[in-house]
Every structure is written in structure tokens, then in C-alpha cells.
Amino acid sequence: KEKHKILHRLLQNSTSPVEL
């Protein structure tokens, strides 16, 4: 995860999850 920190950070920036 350390190697992929931008992807990690962008995914964590929250928008409310959309449920199925």
C-alpha cells in the first residue's frame, strides 16, 4: 500500500458509498 499511496489516498477521500 505504501507503494500505491496516491491511489490509496484518492480512494479514501470519502464520498458516501453507493449500496447495491
Percent of residues in the chain assigned helix, strand, coil, to nearest 5:
55, 0, 45
2 contributes a contact to another protein by CB under 8 A = no
15 contributes a contact to another protein by CB under 8 A = yes
What type of residue sits at position 14? S
Shortest Cβ distance from residue 7 to another protein (Å)? 6
- Count of residues that bind another protein according to CB under 8 A: 16
Q: Judge contact between 13 and 6, C-beta under 8 A.
A: no
Residues forming the site for another protein (CB under 8 A): 1, 3-8, 10-12, 15-20
